[in-house]
């Protein structure tokens, strides 16, 4: 590209991924030729003795932050003054709206006690595929909404008889339990490489980094999946015309909240053990919140309390909200953070049972 192709060199080695002796020789020769103008090749690496660690310290203890009062990324970020600049949420998260005519494909239907269970999937161009189960009561209560339940453990838990989904359905609630990207059956696929190497990269954080590199935050991908599920639920013959409530647990509460902000068809929200705010992440030096929910510059545009307030008059229940270290916060502290959101109800405990979820 710069007109000097001879200054590029590509070399391989049959040895494992490392800076082995043969590779170091190639590096020495490339630098010697192009930075020192030497034509004589380096054939043997000279013996070297690494300096002791203390010899390269610039302060007595080797810590410039403590010795010189230096800044860290955390302290610099904490001092930044952020001015809100409104930006469409859909654009900020790179969300894709479901295609017209989005509907479930029914893969199978089986009976259970007092209900039918449908195995379904929904696709939407260009890149959405979401599997789900529908628990449809034989005697549905028309006063009760459809409940879309999102668990970070995926839909493969709490589905059996006497467990959460079938218990709720037996009470008259149509239930949809689904996976979203990175959960359940939508866990990232192993790459085509050595299993030990591929396994270490087969996790949510690596998936989230890849999404940011491609301009598609994982948070926005999950919001896309939720919007697609909502569209398919409203198109289902047995569920048309019913209000739809959304219940989410843990890290999935963040995409659930943003999805509700983008789709008024979601009539109410129950968020259990969800992050209280991204401002709290900024104020916490060693936070533990999943990287999957991070979006560059999000705080320049909005934060979770503002998103929740934008849903008014729709009801939002925050149950057992947690801070950036994933520690449960006192209900009164959460109320202070959400004092501008009159539609938000704060509950102290993050209950995830049929008695709680049936309040809708």
Domain ranges of the chain: 19-90, 98-357
pLDDT tens for residues 7-32?
A: 999 999 999 889 999 999 999 999 99
Model pLDDT, residue 74 = 92
Q: Are 304 and 254 in contact (CB under 8 A)?
A: yes
Query: What is the pTM (predicted TM-score) of this model?
Result: 0.88
Per-residue pLDDT, averaged over 125-141, amounts to 90
Distance of CA 81 to the CA centre of its chain: 26
* pLDDT tens sequence across 22-80: 999 999 999 999 999 998 999 999 898 888 988 889 898 888 888 998 899 999 988 98
Average pLDDT over residues 152-166: 94
* C-alpha span between 103 and 93 (Å, rounded): 24
Average pLDDT for the chain: 93
Contacts of residue 9, Cβ cutoff 8 Å, sequence gap at least 6: 26, 30
CATH number for the region 98-357 comes to 3.40.50.1820
Each residue's pLDDT tens digit, 178-225: 999 999 999 888 778 788 888 888 889 999 999 999 999 999 999 999
For residues 102 and 124, give the distance between their C-alpha atoms in angstroms, rounded to a whole number: 6
């Amino acid at each position: 590209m710069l007109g000097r192709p001879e200054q590029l060199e590509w070399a391989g080695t049959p040895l494992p991924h490392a800076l082995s002796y043969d590779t170091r020789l190639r590096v020495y020769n490339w630098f010697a030729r192009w930075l020192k103008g030497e034509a004589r090749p380096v054939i043997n690496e000279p013996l070297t003795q690494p300096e002791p660690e203390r010899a390269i310290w610039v302060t007595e203890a080797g810590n410039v932050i403590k010795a010189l009062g230096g800044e860290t990324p955390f302290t610099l970020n904490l001092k930044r003054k952020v001015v809100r600049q409104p930006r469409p949420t859909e654009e900020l998260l790179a969300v894709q709206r479901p295609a017209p005519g989005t509907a479930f494909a029914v893969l199978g239907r089986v009976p259970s006690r007092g209900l039918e269970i449908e195995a379904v999937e929904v696709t939407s161009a260009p890149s959405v595929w979401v599997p789900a189960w529908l628990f449809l009561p034989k005697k549905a209560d028309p006063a009760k909404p459809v409940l879309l339940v999102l668990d970070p453990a995926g839909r493969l838990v709490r589905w059996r008889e006497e467990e959460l989904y079938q218990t709720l359905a037996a009470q008259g609630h149509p239930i949809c339990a689904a996976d979203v990207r990175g959960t359940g059956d939508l866990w990232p696929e192993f790459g085509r490489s050595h299993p030990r190497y591929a396994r270490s990269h087969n996790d949510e954080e690596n998936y989230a980094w890849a999404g940011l590199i491609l301009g598609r935050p994982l948070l926005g991908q999950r919001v896309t999946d939720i919007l697609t599920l909502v569209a398919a639920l409203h198109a289902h013959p047995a569920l048309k015309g019913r209000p739809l409530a959304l219940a989410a647990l843990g890290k999935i509460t963040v995409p659930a909240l943003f999805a509700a902000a983008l789709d008024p068809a979601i009539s109410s929200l129950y968020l259990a053990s969800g992050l209280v705010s991204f401002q709290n992440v900024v104020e916490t030096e060693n936070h533990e919140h999943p990287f999957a929910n991070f979006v560059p510059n999000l705080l320049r545009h909005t934060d979770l309390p503002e998103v929740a307030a934008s849903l008014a008059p729709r009801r939002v229940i925050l149950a057992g909200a947690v801070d950036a270290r994933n520690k449960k916060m006192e209900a009164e502290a959460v109320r202070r953070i959400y004092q501008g959101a009159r539609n938000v109800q704060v509950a102290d405990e993050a209950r995830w049972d049929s008695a709680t979820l049936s309040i809708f």
